[in-house]
Chain A
């Protein structure tokens, strides 16, 4: 045990004396949360809107006002002809054009029915769809407020409720994603690199000649990163609760328990990489390309797995971060209990066991 502690202390010296590593270790979670929280957002605000108002009546003025005060739009230009619309789109300044026909107000008043035309810049299809939805919602509000007696043309009115995330904020989606990514990066890459560094420097041999058991060498290499990763989990959670106002719905101990499980999965992958490679660069490349990329693509955090072709969907099942992402989302956002996440837990335990068995076998072969 004392041997183990000496080793762990040495590992902490390594980490704490390497400014760059330290920065990556503790700076990255903060930076990522800030970027995802404030810079990258699914909400599209202050989009530039062009208005071609042929009606020039009270109703159209009210509607335009509604759009303007919504925060989602900013009226960039008011034009008087169709040709100007196309010109302005070509200049690339506007995202959306709203065309109000000449008899808008009177049609509404007399026929209970009027039309509007929306022209979108669909070079970014996601934004275009989002903006359309905003306009629809605002128009519905406008109708309900100004023409309460107006009968809507449809008999079926879907009452939508966005469960778990009523305001459709980005945070509930990306906080679990960032956690999965950061832990993956730190645990896999740093463990792999720190073990391979000992090989490169020739200190690994010295360690193996000592009575300190090889398996303990590996364990004591991984242990500090387990602790540091838990610190990171804590800092991400603190940021998301206090800075992004994203409360943790489920049990916090369970959240830490599944995080620890995922960290152990990542550490064992890092160990496997370190057993298979002999240079820090290769270890880093494998960790980045082989682990980070799948973690980004297949966790379901950026791209919905349901939309992928079947072979990719199958592949996504062996990406540990996918399962962790589901679990964190379940616990943090939906407040699920462990009984709902048994399958995910089992998958992670299985992956960890397989990876550990392979790495221990390979490690023994190298020694023989």
Chain B
């Protein structure tokens, strides 16, 4: 059995009377690509924020990279990468400056930053754009750059919050190639998405409805369980039962 890098046990977050996340339990093992699905407002973002140490859970327990989400958020932050659905680089900085900045706040040394940024720029084929402002890059490239920056400090786990929103299918495919490459290096990927074809790329997925996890398993298992042709149908069957509206 592989090391479990994310363990959540009856994790809940309450805002007043509202249970944004209601007793969710799951675990993710090292190097796994874990898809975290759910309709808007199902509680995905809240769950993710708790795991990233941005939000303190109301009940339940969870550990990320072996650290407790209540008491060791600082340790957790050192071991995770994060990329949000909204674009998370600075548009008025150049590609290189962005890399240096994020390397800098993660405490990498100048030498490390230099080596990593050279490698990264070569890998992404951005040699010509390295000194251009990020605002000049097409969205697809920015997202790829964003992801590379999120894993710049070699985190154990990377959280991706709808990373491919608004990106064309070809770039999405390339983006997933990068995710696979990272997973092969042992990085655990925790990804939320609205694209059901992307759900198929995941090793395992969970589907949240109204703050609870209603289904969890490999895409094949889920399709079998819900007697569905594809993940779209699975998702539709589950989300239809949701009481919460956006």
Contacts and interface: CB of A to CB of B under 8 A. Distances in A.
B170 interface: no
B226 interface: no
A201 B97 CA distance: 17
Nearest to A205: B84
Contacts of B131: none
Interface in B63-92: 74, 77-78, 80, 82-92
B106 A202 contact: no
B53 interface: yes
Contacts of B56: 368
A86 interface: no
A208 B54 contact: yes
B159 to A, nearest CB: 8
Contacts of A367: 54-55
B60 interface: no
B105 A3 contact: yes
Given A201-B87, A209-B77, A3 B107 contact: yes
Contacts of B77: 209-211
A368 B13 CA distance: 11
B61 to A, nearest CB: 17
Contacts of A207: 105
B151 interface: no
Give the secondary structure class of B's interface: loop
Interface string B107-142: 100000000000000000000000000000000000
B153 to A, nearest CB: 9
A206 interface: yes
Contacts of B213: none
B52 A7 contact: no
B12 to A, nearest CB: 15
A17 B91 CA distance: 11
B54 A209 contact: yes
Contacts of B97: 10, 13
B89 to A, nearest CB: 8
Interface in A173-219: 201-203, 205-212
A149 interface: no
Given A209-B54, A367-B55, A7 B88 contact: no
Contacts of B84: 202, 205-206
B176 interface: no
A210 B101 CA distance: 12
B102 to A, nearest CB: 8
A2 B159 CA distance: 25
Contacts of A113: none
Given A202-B87, A211-B77, A2 B107 contact: yes
A201 B54 CA distance: 17
B54 A7 contact: no
Contacts of B106: 3, 210-212
A39 interface: no
A57 to B, nearest CB: 76
Among A6, A206, A207, chain B packs the most CB atoms within 10 A around the CB of A206
B148 to A, nearest CB: 14
B183 interface: no
Contacts of B19: none
B95 to A, nearest CB: 13
B239 interface: no
Contacts of B53: 209
Contact of A209 (B82, B93, B101, B107): B82
B107 A10 contact: no
A14 interface: yes
Contacts of A5: 104
Nearest to A209: B82
B204 interface: no
B107 A205 contact: no
B100 interface: yes
A202 B88 contact: yes
A18 B56 CA distance: 37
Nearest to A203: B88
Nearest to B88: A206
A328 to B, nearest CB: 34
B135 to A, nearest CB: 10
A196 to B, nearest CB: 14
Contact of A211 (B86, B92, B107): B107
Nearest to B94: A13
B92 A205 contact: no
A206 B80 CA distance: 11
Given A205-B88, A206-B88, A6 B82 contact: no
A13 B93 contact: yes
Contacts of A13: 90, 92-93, 97
Contacts of B54: 205, 208-209, 367
Contacts of B159: 209
Nearest to A15: B92
Given A13-B97, A367-B55, A205 B82 contact: yes
Given A6-B101, A6-B103, A13-B90, 10 more contacts: A9-B104, A10-B93, A13-B92, A13-B93, A201-B90, A203-B88, A203-B89, A209-B80, A211-B78, A367-B54
Interface of A: 2-3, 5-7, 9-10, 13-14, 17-18, 201-203, 205-212, 367-368
20 contacts: A3-B107, A6-B101, A9-B101, A10-B97, A13-B90, A14-B93, A201-B87, A201-B90, A202-B87, A203-B89, A203-B90, A206-B83, A208-B54, A209-B54, A209-B77, A209-B82, A209-B159, A210-B102, A210-B106, A367-B55
